[in-house]
Amino acid sequence: MKKPPAKRTPGMRAEYDFSGGVRGKYVERYRSGTNVSRLDPELAEAFPDSKSVNDALRALLAVATRAERRKRA
């Protein structure tokens, strides 16, 4: 007995058949191996790439570390 054809969403090609897929199968593996942060639009304009974000965060960390050391002394 043949399976009835799966419902197709308009615009989807027949070769894109996800009927046998398992939702969320790799979500835990993905979460454990990534660290994604979303920037607000105004920050994304100021920091156009990941290098500029990382540089700014490293500078902020250095300032915070110095302030913490002064506080302890």
Instruction: Give me the tens of pLDDT residue by residue for the chain, a chain 73 residues long.
Output: 677 666 666 777 878 888 888 999 998 888 888 788 889 999 999 999 989 999 999 999 999 999 888 888 7
Does residue 43 fall inside a structural domain?
A: yes
Does residue 26 fall inside a structural domain?
A: no
Residue 5 is predicted with a pLDDT of 66
Ramachandran area for residue 22 (φ above 0: left; ψ -120 to 50: alpha; else beta): beta
Q: Domain span at residue 65?
A: 38-72
Give the helix, strand, coil percentages of the chain, each rounded to 5: 50, 0, 50
Does residue 8 fall inside a structural domain?
A: no
Residue 35 is predicted with a pLDDT of 80
Does residue 7 fall inside a structural domain?
A: no
Does residue 62 fall inside a structural domain?
A: yes
Does residue 19 fall inside a structural domain?
A: no
SS3 state of residue 60: helix
Residue 69 is predicted with a pLDDT of 85
Residue 33 is predicted with a pLDDT of 82
Residue 37 is predicted with a pLDDT of 84
